[in-house]
């Protein structure tokens, strides 16, 4: 499939805010995020169903699909920011008109539940998307984390092929230096779409995974699911973010699980639910040194 790359964001461009997954309970952050982007010189368009509530979802399936497709159709919009994650993406993957997305490539950002959209959009259109901060959870606060902010803007406004800084303590699990396209995102979401036809192509890829508030036995089960599907034999390396938990010595326990894998692997990369967050273009070629935890982009990802 031919790879599609979106245009770099420029001052004065319009940023769309949509909520294609879970309901946004912190509605006041819409205004804060809008002011943040406008103060930087951008126009902001909050799509009509972004503030809706349908139980745990941000509106019905039809409403969330409408905003997603409308944001891609809008000729003025150059960057689509998702408001939050939660749940809801997998419900609509087979109902989206991917021709609209393919014919209107734009920068598309998010993480967590948005992992499902990243995978499906690339699989169906070839569009490079971004594992990146949320409009509200990350830019809807009165103070924005400097690392998150700096890494976000330098990645979406130009082709910055510099090393991706890591702000967390890193542990090498299995050493090795590899190159390959980066795929993945949230572990729970990723495993939930295996076998659906919307999962990533893992062959010769660097797989990135992270998660939040999942007990150790569930992480063990999900890693086993990937192993039983032969994915750890297909990938070149496994880069792991933070598995956020209040459990004592949780990181050490996760690392013990990862040691069972034979692929090059490292734990503690800053592109997860924890702040600060790096912005990572997906399905773009990287070089990863798992001994040091340093990764570097090897391919332009914007026009």
Tell me: the pLDDT tens digits for 231-246? 999 999 999 999 999 8
Query: Rounded to whole angstroms, what are the CA distances from 288 to 172, 182, 201?
Result: 12, 10, 19
pLDDT at site 142: 87
CB 16 within 8 A of CB 82: no
Position 230 scores a pLDDT of 97
pLDDT(133) > 90: yes
Question: Which pLDDT score, from 0 to 100, does residue 1 have?
Answer: 79
Active site residues: 112, 210, 273
Report phi then psi at 133, rounded to 5. -60, 160
Reported as a single tens digit per residue, the pLDDT across 53-69 is 999 999 999 999 999 99
Tens-digit pLDDT profile for residues 39-96: 999 999 999 999 999 999 999 999 999 999 999 999 999 999 999 999 999 999 999 9
pLDDT tens for residues 103-123?
999 999 999 999 999 999 999
Structural domains of the chain ordered from first start: 14-144 (3.40.50.10740), 163-297 (3.50.30.60)
- Tell me how far apart the 2 most distant CA atoms of the chain are, in Å: 50
* Residue 210 pLDDT greater than 90, yes or no: yes
Q: Is the pTM of this model over 0.85?
A: yes
Percentage of residues of the chain with pLDDT beyond 90 = 97
Q: What is the pLDDT of residue 53?
A: 97
Which pLDDT does position 282 carry in this prediction? 98
Query: pLDDT for 253-265, tens place per residue?
Result: 999 999 999 899 9
Question: Can you give the pLDDT at residue 130?
Answer: 98
Residue 51 CA to residue 26 CA, distance in Å, equals: 10
């Amino acid at each position: 499939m031919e790879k599609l790359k979106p245009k770099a964001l420029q001052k004065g461009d319009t940023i769309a805010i949509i909520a294609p997954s879970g309901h946004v309970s912190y509605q006041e952050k819409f205004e804060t995020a809008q002011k943040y982007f406008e103060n930087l010189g951008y126009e902001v368009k909050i799509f009509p169903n972004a503030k809706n509530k349908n139980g745990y979802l941000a509106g019905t399936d039809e409403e969330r699909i409408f905003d997603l497709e409308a944001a891609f159709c809008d000729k003025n919009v150059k960057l689509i920011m998702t408001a939050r994650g939660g749940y809801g993406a997998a419900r609509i993957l087979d109902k989206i008109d991917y021709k609209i997305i393919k014919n209107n490539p734009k920068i598309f950002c998010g993480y967590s539940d948005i992992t499902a959209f990243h995978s499906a959009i690339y699989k169906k259109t070839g569009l490079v998307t971004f594992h990146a901060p949320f409009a509200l959870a990350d830019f809807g606060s009165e103070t924005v984390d400097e690392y998150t902010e700096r890494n976000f803007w330098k990645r979406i406004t130009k082709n910055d092929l510099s090393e991706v800084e890591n702000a967390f303590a890193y542990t090498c699990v299995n050493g090795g230096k590899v190159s390959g396209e980066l795929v993945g995102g949230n572990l729970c979401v990723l495993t939930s779409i295996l076998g659906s036809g919307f999962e990533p192509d893992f062959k010769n890829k660097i797989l990135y995974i992270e998660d939040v508030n999942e007990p150790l036995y569930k992480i063990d089960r999900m890693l086993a699911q990937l192993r039983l599907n032969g994915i750890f034999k297909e990938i070149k390396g496994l880069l792991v973010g933070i598995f956020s938990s209040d459990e004592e010595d949780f990181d050490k326990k996760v690392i013990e699980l990862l040691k069972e894998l034979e692929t090059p692997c490292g734990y503690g990369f800053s592109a997860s639910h924890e702040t600060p967050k790096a912005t990572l273009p997906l399905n773009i070629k990287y070089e990863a040194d798992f001994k040091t935890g340093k990764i570097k982009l090897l391919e332009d990802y914007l026009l």
